[in-house]
Amino acid sequence: MTNTAAHLTPADYEAIGAELDALRDEITADLGERDADYIHKIIKLQRGLEITGRALLMASALPPAWLAGTATLSVAKILENMEIGHNVMHGQWDWMRDPKIHSTTWEWDNVSPAEQWKHSHNFVHHTFTNIVGKDNDVGYGILRVTPEQPWHPANIGQPVYNLLLAMFFEYGVALHDLELEKIRAGTNDPAETKAKLRAIGRKIARQWGKDYLAFPLLSGPQFGTTLAANFTANIVRNLWSNAIIFCGHFPGDVEVFELEEEQMPNETRGEWYVRQLLGSANISGNKLFHLMSGNLSHQIEHHLFPDMPSNRLSEIAPRVRALCEKYDLPYHTGPFSKQITSTWKKIFRYALPGPKVTEPSPMPRAREAKPVAA
C-alpha cells in the first residue's frame, strides 16, 4: 500500500501535533452548559422513545401498532448504543462529574459487558488503530478486508460471515475482548478467558431476560408479538451500528500499518495523529444522520480525539479537513451509499485469492525524529 505520509518532514509532524493539540485544548476549554444540555436532552429523548415504543407494543396485536412500536424501539436502541452508550463509555462526558453519565458507571443496552468493551475498544483499538496483528478491529478476526492480510480458503465465505456478523453484531462485539487469535494460537490465559466468558454470559442473561421475557410478559396476550418486536429492534440496531462502524474503518483507500516494535514506545503525538487520519473515514450527511450514527460519521475526528464530546465533532471537522489539505494528506469522506458500497466491495473482493499480498504501510514516522521524553 502506498505510504501517503512519506512526504512529511519531522517539522511537519511536529506542526501537525501542535495544531491538533491546540484544537483539542480550545474545545476542552469551551465545554460547558450547552454541551451538558445536549447530552441530557439526548438521554431524555432516547428514554421517551423507548417508553413510547414499549407502550405501543402493548397493543401490538394490531399491525400498525406493532410496526410503530418496533420502529420507535429500534430508534431508541440505536440512540442508546451509538450516541449515548459508545460516547459515554469513551469518557466524553466525564468532565461533567455526573456519576449517572460517566464512563465508570454506564452499562449499555447490549450483550457486551462495558468493562470488556472499554478495554478492547478504548485501549486496544484506539491505541493500535489499523495496525495489522494488533488492532482486532481490522477484520474482526474473521474477515479479510485488505490485501495486507493473507488469504485463507475460509475467507471465501466471508460475505455470509459479514451478513451474520452485522445481524448479530452485539455478540461479535461481546466476543471481541476474548482475542480469538490468541485462543486459536493457544496463547491465551484460560482462567482469564473463562472469567470473561462468565461475564458475557451474565450480560446476555440480563439482556435476554429484559427483552425476551420481562417486557413480553408485561404485554400479556401480546407476549409473542412483543418478543418478535424486541428481537427485530435488536437486529435493526445491530445492522445499523455495524454499517456505520465498518464505513468508518474499511472503505476506499483507508490505510493499514505494520507495527515496528522499536517505534511504538517512541511514537510522537504528531505521528499518532497522522496514523488516525490515514486509518479512518467519514460519512457525509445531515444532522439527523450524524445523530443516528452517534456522530461516528465523523470517524476521523473521533479517532483524533476519542474523548471529545460527540456534539463537537461536526464543529471541528472543517478545520481538520483544512489541516489535511495543508499537509497534502487524504481526508477520506463520502455519502453513506459510497462508503457502504466500497466496504462491501472489499469484503467480496478479498474473499477471493489475490491480489498479491503486500506489506502494510510503515507506521507514520518523522524521519530522524527524536523519541518523546517519558
Specify the long-range contacts of residues 287-295, CB closer than 8 Å, at least 24 apart.
289/336, 290/314, 291/42, 291/79, 291/83, 292/75, 292/78, 292/79, 292/82, 292/83, 292/240, 293/82, 293/244, 294/81, 294/82, 294/83, 294/84, 294/86, 294/87, 294/244, 295/83, 295/87
Distance (Å) of CA 360 to CA 2, 25, 146, 261, 269: 9, 33, 9, 14, 21
Tens of pLDDT, residue by residue over 22-39, are: 999 999 999 999 999 999
Residues sharing a CB contact under 8 Å with residue 238, sequence separation 6 or more, in sequence order: 166, 167, 168, 169, 170
User: Could you say which DSSP state residue 361 is in?
Assistant: E
Residues sharing a CB contact under 8 Å with residue 56, sequence separation 6 or more, in sequence order: 65, 66, 68, 69, 72
Largest pairwise CA distance in the chain:
72
- 3-state SS class at 362: strand
Q: Locate cell 450527511: which residue?
A: 285
pLDDT (tens place) for every residue of the chain, 374 residues total? 567 888 999 999 999 999 999 999 999 999 999 999 999 999 999 999 999 999 999 988 889 999 999 999 999 999 999 999 999 999 999 999 999 999 999 999 999 999 999 999 999 999 989 888 888 888 888 899 988 888 999 999 999 999 999 999 999 999 988 877 777 777 888 899 999 999 999 999 999 999 999 999 999 999 999 999 999 999 999 999 999 999 999 998 898 887 765 566 678 999 999 999 999 999 999 999 999 999 999 999 999 999 999 999 999 999 999 999 999 999 999 999 999 999 999 999 999 998 765 566 666 765 544 433 33
Please choose, from the candidates 195, 293, 153, 57, the residue with its C-alpha nearest in 3D space to the C-alpha of residue 301.
293
Decide: 60 and 222 in contact? Cβ < 8 Å.
yes
Tens of pLDDT, residue by residue over 104-126, are: 999 999 999 999 999 999 999 99
Distance (Å) of CA 307 to CA 95, 228, 336: 10, 36, 24
